[in-house]
Amino acid sequence: MDMLRTFSMMNVVRLMVLGTVWTCAATGVHAEETKSVGTASFCCIYQHKVKTVDLNQQAVTDSTAAMLEVGDNVAKYGDWAAYHGQLPANYDTKNLAGNPWTKDYVTVYQDYPQQGKLTVREGLLPHFYVYEEEPKLVWTPVEGADTVLGHVCSKAVTTYGGRTWTASYAADIPMVYGPWKLTGLPGLILKAESADGIHSFVAQVLYDIDAQAMAWDGTEKDVKVARNKFVTLRNRLKTDKQWPKSASYYVNAEDIRSVVIVKDHNNEGLTPNMSINGISLPMSGGTGHFFQPLETK
């Protein structure tokens, strides 16, 4: 079997490897010592919305949730569903529209390994890739103000990765961090929108936490790569017309180490998914949505 091009073929592989999934998990990442990149004392939950279309070219909006952990000299932005730290009191994730357990599989370590640099870990079946970059965003102040979570925000514009972004930042929260790779303003970025209206990040809740370690999520199986090479590969694969129909169409069977099936999360009525090597994809084959990259180049 050379390629897994349909979900029916993947089901065959699932039956072959499902019995060893838990052994793989127990002898893999869980056996490694957890590395810390810093200590967080503040968190912000963002909602990331993406406007796209389905296979019938009907407009749809995807929604994921992400956590920004902030320390003195480093911050970590990643999927909320993968976060295992302290949570805000009395906050219900059902406040987030869409499916909060859906993941972007992007983790950005801001000002790491040193100030001004980013380390990015992103899942692209069947591997996780890691790269460093120094984006040097140039922000231009623009007129207008915004209010997010009760904080009056100033606005600024930058261009990165082929998209132009307008950010609303709170000068009364003196942190240079923000969602994804958007950093470098004199205040925490609480909202950011791409000029084409496809992507938006909006802060949902802010809260202090007791000092807790920000974990490094990488493993020895991660593939180290140059940023430009990875972006080109990811966009080529995920913008292929086959991707929304069967997100595993290009995966070699021999690259599959584990498969996990999740029918629901705590019976909350969320979308079932299949996880390959720790990266999930919908099990609703043929009803996917087209990928809209945060970076077009």
Per-residue pLDDT band for 4 (boundaries 50, 70, 90) equals very low
257, amino acid identity? R
Tens digits of residue pLDDT in 218-245: 999 999 999 999 999 999 999 999 988 8
- The three state secondary structure string of the chain is CCEECCHHHHHHHHHHHHHHHHHHHHHCHHHCCCEEEEEEEEEEEEEEEEEEEECCCCEEEEEEEEEEEEECCCEEEEEHHHCCCCCCCCCCHHHCCCCCCCCCCEEEEECCCCCCCEEEEEEECCEEEEEEECCCCCCEEEEEEEEECCEEEEEEEEEECCEEEEEEEECCCCCCCCCCCCCCCCCEEEEEEECCCCEEEEEEEEEEEEEEEEEECCCCCCEECCHHHHHHHHHHHHCCCCCCCCCCCCEEHHHCCCEEEECCCCCCCCCCEEEECCEEEECCCCCCECCCCCCCC
Give the pLDDT score at 280: 79
- Of residues 142 and 267, more confidence is placed in 142
Give the pLDDT score at 98: 65
Give the pLDDT score at 178: 98
CA 246 to chain centre: 20
Tens digits of residue pLDDT in 194-205: 999 999 999 999
Per-residue pLDDT band for 259 (boundaries 50, 70, 90) equals confident
